[in-house]
Amino acid sequence: MQIKNICCIGAGYVGGPTMAVIALKCPHINVTVVDANPDKIKAWNGPLDELPVYEPGLAEVVKEARGRNLFFSDDISGNIEKAEMIFMAVNTPTKTEGEGAGMAADLGYVEACARDIAKHSKSDKIVIEKSTLPVRTAEKIKEILEENSTEIHFEILSNPEFLAEGTAIQDLFKSDRVLIGGHETESGQKAVQALVDIYTNWIPKEKILTTNVWSSELAKLASNAMLAQRISSINSLSALCEKTGANIDELSKAIGMDHRIGPHFLKASVGFGGSCFQKDILNLVYLCKYYGLEEVADYWHHVIKINDYQKDRFAQKIIDHFGGDLKGKSIAILGWAFKANTDDSRESAAIYVSEKLYNAGANLLIYDPMVSQKSINRDISFYWNISPKLSQDRIRVMNEALKLKEIDGTAILTEWTEFKDLDFGNLVVFDGRNILKESNKIHQIGR
Ligand code: UDX
Ligand code: UDX
């Protein structure tokens, strides 16, 4: 099947960069990204230094492809109708109410997407799950599509995205693997081939892995769970290092040099953040419970519990240093993003550590080179559940590096390189991200 028009629903961190790269590498295909939020579309069509997603290299890709064969549009129905292939890249947050609240993925947006596709389709479509979804979601999507439209054939594929924020463009250019799950029917395999043909424009064939739909859906959850599990494993050992005098960096290095283990994702930290790890593990735990696998569910749940323990332990270390009370103490929070090179702060460790410090009485001065003041204020009211007004007396969000002399201590919560050059003078520094050279004034996780 020759694909001429692709539509992607969802112009977020995944949909935007992924489609920009597909358009760049496939100039013979028109790629249109649509979104329910017209402001986001406006921003994608706006100046290159104000795109709604910050990713190194993204602006260059958009510059080359935008207007040529990459388009951002708020005409959802027209672009669904025109496309032979539709990607669903809407967000799938953890459910906040109803059955599975706090654990299962909220499929409301995905289901709304499927209803939109059914409503506006006038010809056969290949519908691709890009969003991370629980196993067997394709069944539910098929049900919705067929319930609303009987004449048209919808073939559903799973093609999870493995890009990491901050390196998205690099990851998309040189993926470790591209995973495509399809049904083992003739039409299923034809659809798989159509998607394989798109990726072979730049990904070597041996890196494209085709599986059944359920393996593909589960592989995404399992990959994130395994990555997060390595971080929780090393973070759990950092607590033991502090008791025994072992050094966590030396331990990581020694462990990672075993080729059977490898060096990646063994960096002790104040805890992982980001939109995926916690959500996907909770989702996995929910699935295990649903299928009666209590022991398996408990095993994976502990990855989250260690992560919470690590964030809490780090904040407590600061509180203890000041004698158990932070009233009248000013603490600088350096870094709000969940990792360097992104403006994304979803589930960032900084949010949780700051909340605990704030509740212990601290005055907070917060600075991040990329996360806007507006986003920081929004996170505070969303995650802490307090009104920005109430918090204003003791929280200042800064738009430049801090005057460090005015404060009692600093907590480094994102490994931005610009923090490496700061002169901390005699200030006590709590380094959750291990970016500074060892000094007796610096308290690092694991030391
Ligand atoms: C993605 C994945 O899809 C998610 O499953 C994965 O686990 C994390 O990454 P992401 O791209 O990071 O989500 O989400 P976000 O940046 O919030 O973008 C989603 C976009 O979908 C938003 O721009 C939102 O406006 C749009 N949307 C949402 C729609 O267009 N329609 C909807 O019904 C819901
Ligand atoms: C992750 C997966 O890596 C990616 O494949 C998937 O598509 C989405 O989820 P992302 O969340 O963007 O990507 O970033 P990642 O680089 O995995 O970092 C996640 C968190 O783990 C960050 O807070 C990071 O600082 C932390 N981390 C990472 C550590 O604490 N130690 C490490 O050794 C590595």
Q: Give Cα 148 to chain centroid, integer Å.
A: 32
Return the best residue to mutate from 237, 253, 276, 282 for the ligand 2 pocket (most ligand atoms within 8 A of CB): 276
Does any ligand 1 atom lie closer than 6 A to the CB of residue 36? yes
**Which atom in ligand 2 lies closest to the alpha carbon of residue 231?**
31
- Block means of pLDDT (10 residues each) for the chain, length 447 residues? 94 97 98 97 97 95 98 97 97 89 89 94 95 85 85 94 95 97 96 98 98 94 97 97 93 98 96 95 94 98 98 96 94 95 94 96 95 92 77 82 78 92 83 75 72
The rounded distance, in Å, linking the Cα atoms of 325 and 275 is 32
**Which atom in ligand 1 lies closest to the alpha carbon of residue 9?**
30
pLDDT at 81: 96
Q: How far is the CA of 74 from the centre of ligand 1 (A)?
A: 15
**Which atom in ligand 2 lies closest to the alpha carbon of residue 168?**
12
Q: Is 276 a catalytic residue?
A: yes
Cα dist. 95→64, 161, 280, 445 in Å?
38, 21, 12, 32
Does any ligand 1 atom lie closer than 6 A to the CB of residue 88? no
Query: Residue 132 is encoded by which pair of tokens?
Result: 């991370």
pLDDT at 435: 75
pLDDT at 173: 98
pLDDT at 302: 98
Residue 90's identity, in one-letter code, is V
- Ligand 2 binding pocket (C-beta < 6 A) is 161-165, 224, 227, 231, 265-267, 269, 272-274, 276-277, 338-339
Q: Is the dihedral of CA 341, 343, 347, 352 positive or negative?
A: positive
- On whether the CB atoms of residues 114 and 141 are closer than 8 A, the answer is yes
Q: How far is the CA of 227 from the centre of ligand 1 (A)?
A: 22
Q: Is the dihedral of CA 274, 275, 281, 285 positive or negative?
A: positive
Q: How far is the CA of 407 from the centre of ligand 1 (A)?
A: 39
**Which atom in ligand 2 lies closest to the alpha carbon of residue 160?**
7
Q: How far is the CA of 268 from the centre of ligand 2 (A)?
A: 12
Order of strands across the sheet that contains 363-367: 395-397, 363-367, 330-334, 409-412, 428-431, 442-444
pLDDT at 393: 82
Does any ligand 1 atom lie closer than 6 A to the CB of residue 92? yes
pLDDT at 440: 63
The rounded distance, in Å, linking the Cα atoms of 57 and 163 is 14
Q: How far is the CA of 335 from the centre of ligand 2 (A)?
A: 16
Given 8, 26, 113, 276, the catalytic residue: 276
